[in-house]
């Protein structure tokens, strides 16, 4: 286990779903720790349960058994509203599909996490504009998502994920919808932004090349988690 204080602690988590009369196990007795400032890659084949584990870490899904602590709080013991408030404060999300709101400008999209947390004041706007500048989109704040390329939209999504200063970033196949060259540039930006801010990240991928960027690699197969060979 990492020696630095943990931002995320997953302890003996199991998940399953029922299909007809059969119960299918997705995660079996999974345990892991993510240290503060650490990037951990979660590697595994499609359908291996990577996204399910990410949803459990974020509190979007409840495990059948086990616990998850985020920044010292056991989220498996929280109600829905408390989990939502914790996500708004402590977790940033980057998805394969950008999930931008088409009717909002770039600036309003990235301000949304601050709006939800009651921090969209003048200082918050300056912070967001600075982040947009840092990813080369300082002049696109008034543009709408449909006017941006795929790479530009994902850069906006990166800024949105980091705008509220979350200690933990969860990235689910963040370059899966981009060509190789654009994906490499986006990964470079994501890695730099997360490390410069001192955040932790769990990066879900099926690519060994992408996983190699992380400080540690964990491999998920047959519902079980292990260090990558």
**Domain range list for the chain:** 38-60+79-227
Burial of 78 (0-12, 13-18, 19+ CB in 10 A): middle
pLDDT value at 132 more than 60: yes
Rounded CA-CA distance 29/223 in Å is 8
CATH class name, domain 38-60+79-227: alpha beta
pTM for the predicted model, two decimal places: 0.90
Residue pointed to by tokens 């929280």: 78
Could you tell me the pLDDT band of residue 117, with boundaries at 50, 70 and 90? confident
Q: How far apart are CA 27 and CA 222, in angstroms?
A: 8
**pLDDT, tens digit, for every residue of 43-102?**
988 888 898 999 999 999 999 999 999 999 999 999 999 999 999 899 999 988 888 999
Of the candidates 62, 68, 73, 69, the residue with the CA atom closest to the CA atom of residue 17: 62
∠199-149-157 over CA atoms, to 5°?
Answer: 25
> Is the pLDDT confidence value at 229 over 70?
no
Radius of gyration of the chain (CA): 17
As a whole number, mean pLDDT of residues 173-200 equals 89
pLDDT at position 4 is 58
**Phi, psi of 200, deg, nearest 5:** -100, 155
């Amino acid at each position: 286990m990492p020696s630095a204080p943990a931002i995320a602690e997953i302890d003996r988590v199991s998940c399953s779903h029922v299909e007809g009369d059969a119960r299918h196990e997705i995660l079996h007795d999974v345990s892991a720790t993510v240290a503060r400032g650490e990037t951990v890659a979660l590697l595994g084949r499609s359908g291996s349960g990577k996204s399910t584990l990410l949803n459990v870490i974020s509190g979007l899904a409840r495990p059948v058994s086990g616990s998850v602590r985020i920044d010292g709080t056991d989220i498996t013991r929280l109600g829905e509203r408390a989990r939502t408030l914790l996500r708004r404060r402590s977790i940033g999300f980057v998805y394969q599909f950008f999930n931008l709101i088409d009717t909002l400008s770039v600036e309003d999209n990235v301000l949304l996490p601050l709006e939800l947390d009651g921090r969209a004041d003048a200082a918050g706007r300056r912070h967001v504009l600075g982040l947009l500048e840092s990813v080369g989109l300082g002049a696109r704040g008034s543009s709408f998502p449909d006017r941006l390329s795929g790479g530009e939209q994902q850069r906006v999504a990166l800024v949105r994920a980091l705008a509220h200063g979350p200690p933990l970033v969860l990235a689910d196949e963040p370059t899966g919808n981009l060509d190789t060259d654009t994906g490499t540039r986006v990964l470079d930006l994501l890695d730099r932004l997360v490390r410069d801010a001192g955040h932790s990240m769990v990066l879900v991928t099926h690519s060994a090349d992408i996983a190699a960027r992380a400080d540690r690699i964990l491999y998920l197969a047959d519902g079980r988690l292990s260090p990558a060979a």
